[in-house]
Amino acid sequence: MTERAAVAKDPDAFVRELWGYAHALEMKEHPWFKGVREHRWTREQIVRAEMQHYLRVRMNPVFFGYIVTNVVAEKNYELMPIVMENFMEELGGERTHVDVMLQFLEEAGLTREQADAAEPAPGTMAAIEMIVGCCQRRSALEGIAMLSFVEAMHGGPDGAAAGMFEALTRHYGFSARAAATYELHAEQDTGHGDRQIQAIHRFARDAQTQDKVRAAVKLGLEAFNYEWDGHVQAMTGERAYWRGLAPRIDLVTPPFRLPNAPLGGDVR
């Protein structure tokens, strides 16, 4: 059992705590990413998985739209530049991330209309609903916190996206155009994640805000883990869920007492 801290943590310690949650669901170790890097999936399975990827990515304008709306409504002018920069990188330019994502399916002969008709797997459905709910009903800071550590793990030369691009193009023979979404995210997501984590460090200074940010980060990690589960479900037809790297879940629970029993509250 873990008890919630009554006082705020030092910002550096708080960010280290959040990284601990992220590493328990290390993205590149998920069977979807690891399986592609180790060449365990077939080309046909990968196309099925990328249909699920598209179903989530096409919702990005909704996710980011809610965060932008919230930061304006909150008049959070210090956070606004970070939110807007991410919004423009995600949705601006001649081709949005949704357009780039669709290039993979176009190489498999699918149109946008056909991709839209794909049925989401259970994990994909859960991920979309969790992300939409967080972005819509929580603060802008919580919205970017939800995305921060996911994007940090996705991007960079050693992140999940970089390994995907290399495997998809060199081993599986997909074109660089088809796999461009992973090349793009390897370049951009580390910057997105770093800026968002810096915002957490800067703005999450009191215990109440840290509690909210902690919950949002955990929600984001679980939601995107469900998305990758959806990839595997679509590829295999099995209702599979990855348990992550941590041996158990350490939940905050209030103490309780059963009649004629010692004080309890252990989650096991």
Which three-class secondary structure string do you get for 207-220?
HHHHHHHHHHHHHH
pTM: 0.90
38 in any annotated domain: yes
Per-chain mean pLDDT for the chain: 90
Domain count for the chain = 1
In the chain, the N- to C-terminal Cα span, in Å, equals 8
Q: Are 59 and 131 in contact (CB under 8 A)?
A: yes
87 in any annotated domain: yes
Per residue in 97-129, pLDDT (tens digit) is 889 999 999 999 999 999 999 999 999 999 999
2 in any annotated domain: no
138 in any annotated domain: yes
Q: Are 38 and 57 in contact (CB under 8 A)?
A: no
- What angle (nearest 5°) sits at the alpha carbon of residue 81, between those of residues 77 and 86? 140
125 in any annotated domain: yes
253 in any annotated domain: no
- For residue 151, what are the domain limits? 11-238
The single-letter code of the amino acid at 172 is Y
Q: Are 156 and 190 in contact (CB under 8 A)?
A: yes
26 in any annotated domain: yes
Report the C-alpha gap between 117 and 207 in whole angstroms.
45
Instruction: Using the predicted structure, report yes or no on whether residue 70 has a pLDDT greater than 60.
Output: yes
What CATH number does the domain containing 26 carry? 1.20.910.10
